[in-house]
């Protein structure tokens, strides 16, 4: 069993991205997600990968997908391809966007591994529907299949953990439930086979509801005898 933790960082400037990457590496992150949609200017994205020894994930979420990128969809996708061409190892793309097959082909041609992601910000649905999403992501050529739901009950953690236990046998999968009630699945998903899970650097820089800090996750794994 390998537990990998990706620290998600939301820089407002490229200089801040350099500092946050350095902090994440000091915390021994296995991967670092750079939330490009937090940037105020995109002119110097190409400089970011050179400052990291850790695999980087480029994520650029639109307002529609609960991110901060407010420009056109075409421009958003161009930024992702630019990130791929300049050394980001992984690029996150949302499942239901225009021209997704073409975008995935462009990302692979640029040398990046596509993470195809699906988010449900309202609920966690049954295993059969989660499986349909997984199959769709696999069919699109995802290097990593990311399926994130929202916990409306503690039992929803069991649904996502049961799912990722089986899904991880078919593909590299990231799956957990968001929200305060979803914290157990965030923590335990790698134990059940998830490729990685997410954490924040600290309380002030969380990028999603229910996200734990890297310090909290390390302490929990140590208490459970898992790290």
Using pLDDT thresholds of 50, 70 and 90, give the confidence band for residue 203.
confident
- Whole-number average pLDDT of the chain: 96
The reply to whether 146 belongs to the active site is: yes
In sequence order, the β-bridge partners of residue 199 are: 7
Quote the DSSP letter at residue 213. Answer: B
Tokens 């239901």 sit on residue = 96
Virtual CA dihedral for 106, 107, 111, 115, nearest 10 degrees? -150
Q: Which residue of the set 40, 53, 78, 146 is catalytic? A: 146
Helices (H) and strands (E) in the chain, counts: 7, 8
Using pLDDT thresholds of 50, 70 and 90, give the confidence band for residue 210.
confident
pLDDT of residue 179: 96
d(CA 25, CA 22): 5
Q: Is the pLDDT of residue 227 over 80?
A: no
CB atoms within 10 A of CB 180: 8
Alpha-carbon separation of residue 203 from 49, 187, 197 (angstroms): 25, 16, 17
Q: Which residue of the set 78, 119, 206, 209 is catalytic? A: 119
Using pLDDT thresholds of 50, 70 and 90, give the confidence band for residue 57.
very high
Half-sphere exposure of residue 221: CA atoms within 13 angstroms, side-chain side: 23
d(CA 139, CA 161): 22
The reply to whether 28 belongs to the active site is: no
Three-state helix/strand/coil letters over 70-131: CCCHHHHHHHHHHHHHCCCCEEEEECCCCCHHHHHHHHHHCCCEEEEEEECCCCCCCHHHHH
CB 197 within 8 A of CB 175: no
């Amino acid at each position: 069993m390998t537990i990998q933790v990706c620290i998600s960082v939301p820089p407002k400037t490229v200089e801040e991205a350099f500092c946050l990457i350095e902090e994440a590496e000091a915390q021994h992150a296995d991967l670092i997600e750079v939330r490009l949609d937090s940037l105020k200017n995109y002119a110097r994205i190409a400089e970011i990968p050179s400052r990291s020894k850790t695999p980087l994930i480029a994520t650029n979420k639109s307002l529609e997908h609960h991110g901060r990128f407010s420009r056109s969809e075409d421009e958003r996708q161009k930024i992702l391809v630019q990130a791929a061409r300049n050394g980001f190892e992984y690029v996150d793309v949302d499942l239901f966007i225009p021209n997704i097959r073409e975008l995935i082909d462009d990302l692979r041609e640029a040398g990046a591994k596509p993470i195809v992601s699906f988010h449900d910000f309202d609920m966690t649905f049954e295993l059969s529907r989660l499986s349909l999403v997984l199959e769709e992501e696999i069919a699109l050529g995802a290097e990593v299949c990311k399926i994130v739901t929202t916990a409306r009950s503690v039992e929803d953690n069991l649904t996502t953990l049961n799912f990722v236990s089986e899904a991880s046998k078919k593909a590299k999968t990231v799956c957990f439930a968001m929200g305060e009630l979803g914290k157990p699945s965030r923590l335990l998903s790698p134990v059940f086979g998830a490729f990685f899970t997410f954490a924040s650097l600290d309380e002030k820089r969380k990028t999603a509801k229910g996200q734990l800090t890297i310090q909290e996750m390390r302490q929990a794994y140590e208490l459970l005898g898992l790290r």
